[in-house]
């Protein structure tokens, strides 16, 4: 697995990234970015626990929606998008494209492929408290299965292959 202490901008191998995308909106930076780093920590804990079993290492990286949409190679990587369409442009796109796995009273939404073939996930709520609850719910209910799918992925998802 890539050690984050050894990574520089010039040597990042995008084929090993699991992206956690937040909006570039100020509200997203203040509220959603800490949630992204929290889930990144849970992913790092999972990676440490299962490191001896992993054939395909990956590195969680938090980035903004602007960075993601402007770099096509990133769009082929497994992605967890945090924050609603009002603060995250990627959520607006994923909202139309992903299956809703969990919705609570139209206020807390987790979108993902329940078979984890498509490794894109969108997590959000109608406010920060609900987004926080959605992230915690995703972590409890789906994260292990999702990470197992990421770790065993043979090729990145490409909607043009269909």
Q: Is residue 2 part of a domain?
A: no
Strand ranges (E), the chain: 17-22, 59-64, 79-82, 100-104, 108-111, 120-125
Question: Please, what is the end-to-end C-alpha distance for the chain in angstroms?
Answer: 31
pLDDT tens-digit map of 16-27 = 899 999 999 899
Residue at 36 is within a domain: yes
| pLDDT for 80 | 97
For the chain, the average pLDDT equals: 86
Distance CA 27, CA 91 (A): 15
Which domain, by its residues, includes 132? 14-156
Highest mean pLDDT among 34-48, 49-63, 64-78: 34-48
Read off the tokens for 88.
Answer: 């995250």
Q: CATH no. for residue 84?
A: 3.30.379
Residue 10 reports pLDDT greater than 60:
no
Domain count, the chain: 1
pLDDT given at position 5: 54
SS3 at position 79: strand
Residue 111, pLDDT above cutoff 70: yes
Q: Assess if residue 162 is contained within a domain.
A: no
The answer to whether residue 161 is domain-embedded is no
């Amino acid at each position: 697995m890539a050690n984050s202490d050894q990574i520089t901008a010039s040597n990042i191998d995008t084929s090993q990234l699991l992206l956690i995308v937040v909006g570039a909106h100020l509200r997203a930076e203040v509220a959603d970015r800490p949630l992204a780093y929290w889930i990144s920590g849970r992913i790092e804990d999972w990676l440490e626990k299962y490191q001896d079993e992993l054939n395909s290492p990956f590195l969680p990286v938090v980035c903004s929606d602007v960075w993601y949409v402007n770099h096509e190679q990133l769009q082929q990587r497994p992605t967890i998008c945090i924050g609603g369409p009002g603060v995250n442009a990627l959520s607006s796109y994923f909202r139309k494209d992903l299956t809703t796995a969990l919705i609570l009273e139209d206020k807390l939404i987790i979108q993902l492929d329940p078979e984890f073939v498509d490794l894109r996930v969108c997590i959000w709520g109608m406010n920060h408290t609900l987004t926080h609850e959605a992230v915690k719910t995703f972590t409890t209910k789906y994260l292990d299965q999702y990470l197992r799918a990421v770790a065993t992925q043979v090729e990145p998802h490409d909607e043009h292959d269909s």
